[in-house]
């Protein structure tokens, strides 16, 4: 298996999941979920799906629980739309990249305000 194949599978799974979550798969709790990246293992047994969720920590926790519950249905959805011998298990991971970037911006703004005083 080549790295190119894994990248193609990652991109296709990401596309299918993005569309499925946009249409909410009949679950209004999944509104506001953005698929940021998919990393599939070389044996295609597992796909780590990094998602961004809007809202406070309680909302993020609730949405992550909903994603875990919906992972089987989402995996079936992927299986119907992606031609593969083996459809990977989907494991959803909260991507905190934007939260971390916002926190760094806040800290830099505080440092700037201290310097100006």
Report the domain count for the chain: 1
Q: What is the full per-residue pLDDT of the chain (117 aa) written as tens digits?
A: 458 999 999 999 999 999 998 886 666 777 778 999 999 999 999 999 999 998 888 989 999 999 999 999 999 999 999 999 899 999 999 987 776 677 787 778 888 888 776
Does pTM surpass 0.85? no
pLDDT at 99: 67
d(CA 83, CA 86): 9
Q: Are 101 and 52 in contact (CB under 8 A)?
A: no
How many secondary structure helices (H) and strands (E) does the chain include?
Answer: 3, 3
CA distance 91 to 48: 5
What pLDDT is recorded for position 97? 72
Bridge partners (DSSP) listed for residue 49 = 38, 92
Query: What pLDDT, on the 0 to 100 scale, is given for residue 94?
Result: 94
The CATH number assigned to the domain holding 17 equals 3.30.300.20
For residue 1, the model assigns a pLDDT of: 46
Q: How confident is the model at residue 78, as a pLDDT?
A: 95
H/E element, 43: none
| Structural domain of 89 | 3-116
Distance separating alpha carbons of residues 96 and 53, to the nearest angstrom = 9
């Amino acid at each position: 298996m080549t790295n190119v194949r894994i990248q193609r599978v990652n991109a296709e799974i990401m596309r299918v999941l993005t569309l499925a979550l946009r249409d909410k798969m009949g679950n209004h709790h999944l509104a506001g979920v953005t698929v940021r990246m998919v990393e599939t293992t070389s044996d295609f047994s597992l796909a780590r799906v990094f998602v961004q969720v809007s809202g406070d920590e309680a909302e993020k926790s609730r949405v992550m629980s909903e994603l875990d519950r919906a992972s089987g249905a989402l995996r079936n959805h992927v299986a119907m739309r992606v031609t593969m011998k083996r459809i990977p298990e989907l494991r959803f991971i909260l991507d905190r990249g934007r939260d971390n970037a916002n926190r760094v911006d806040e800290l830099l703004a505080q440092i700037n305000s201290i310097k100006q005083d």
